[in-house]
Homo-oligomer: A and B are copies of this chain.
Amino acid sequence: MVDIREVARRSGVSPATVSRALNGRPDVSEATRERVRKTASDLGYLPNEQARTLVRRRSDTVGLIWDTSYVVTKGRHSFLQDLAVGLKIALAETGYHLMILSPGSTTGSEDAFVRIAAQHSLEGVALMAVEPHLPAVEALIASGRPCIGLDLPIRGRRASYVGADNHHGASLAVDHLVGLGHRRIAVITGPLDILPGVERHEGFRTQMAAHGLEVLPEYVVSGDFFIESGHAAMLTLLALPNPPTAVFACGDQMAVGAMHAINEAGLDVPGDISVVGFDDVEIAALVRPSLTTVSQDYLGLGRAAVELLSNLIAEDREFGRGADAPPSTAARRPELVPGALIVRDSTGPVPLTQGVPAIA
């Protein structure tokens, strides 16, 4: 490995000048800059990042904390994978490097994340699929290091989050169903202790109310975003004396499970019951009937996350991390990325035998 001194020697200048020339500093003559550039490139000189980070006190690297333990217990989670890819792509566009952290055995300790971020001089940290009230997470946020939650509602002096606009997405689903003439609309919710679960449910109720429609208590069944819970929830709904004509499942997997249950009962989608999902993961377009759903713009989420994090990092550099530092301003407002309704084949007009005709 050729180092900066070698380049200096071969260019007939000092290491300091080489550094200046290569880093585009103004205080160096164009002649020497060119000469240095040439010998550096001839020698294949590559500045060592560790050494640079050490002295510059910045690494151009952000970390990702992503708890994948759910893979073993519950199986894959497509949307999270999409989200990770979206983050990777956006980060690459911005020039940051991404370090996937392996807290390892120290996960339980309160300073696990703080420590690992400090040790690697990370300029910011993105978080996915972790419990926001974990002591290690709260300690990280309290440390003042720039943090961004992905679909994870964290807040702090230098922490914010991006997420799908779940309220808006749910309202799109409701509008679509109501527009098709449906009135008896049920919802299969996600877990009500995580943000997407809560917000999609809220959005559903709000928009139903906006249309002057009642949400019967027995039309609200909860699931856990995985397919089996959608199946089970739909069985519950089908057993009602007066089943719904449409179902809004707050996740695509649950929507697919619901469709299976409907088919197994000898009913047709969308002939008898319409189904709308949420997320637009890969399966949505592949099942038959293909699933009408609310898409999540995972590339947009990645971009929004990186932009927010960049701002937080900029503030961190400018004002420092001390308790006396002014808190973040604009960068602190969470960013909600809207999705779009993707109309496919799982939704249709309300059956004529039921309630209000679609076209009056």
- Chain A residues near B (Cβ < 8 Å): 1, 44, 46-51, 53-54, 59, 61, 66, 68, 71, 76, 78, 81-82, 84-85, 88-89, 91-92, 95-102, 104, 111, 115, 118-121, 227, 253, 256, 260, 263, 281-283, 286-288, 299
- Contact A253 to B54, CB < 8 A, known contacts A49-B120, A96-B102, A99-B98: no
Interface centre among A44, A53, A286 (most CB of B within 10 A): A286
Min distance, Cβ A25 to any Cβ of chain B, angstroms? 20
Interface contact A100-B98, CB-CB below 8 Å = yes
Ordered nearest first, which 6 A-B pairs have the shortest CB separation?
A92-B102, A98-B100, A81-B81, A50-B50, A49-B119, A50-B53
CB pair B71–A85 under 8 Å, yes or no, is yes
| CB proximity of A258 to chain B, nearest CB, Å | 12
Question: Do A50 and B121 have beta carbons less than 8 Å apart?
Answer: yes
User: A100 — which chain B residues lie within 8 A by C-beta?
Assistant: 88, 91, 97-100
The chain B residue sitting closest to A285, CB to CB, is: B227
CB closest residue in chain B, given A41: B111
| Complex: A97 Cα to B101 Cα, angstroms | 6
Cβ-neighbour of A263 out of B46, B115, B253, B288 (below 8 A): B288
| Cα A119 to Cα B260 with chains together (Å) | 53
Residue on B with the closest CB to A75?
B282
Q: Contacts A78-B78, A95-B102, A100-B88 hold; do A115 and B46 have CB atoms under 8 A apart?
A: yes
CB within 8 A of A78: which of B59, B84, B104, B282? B282
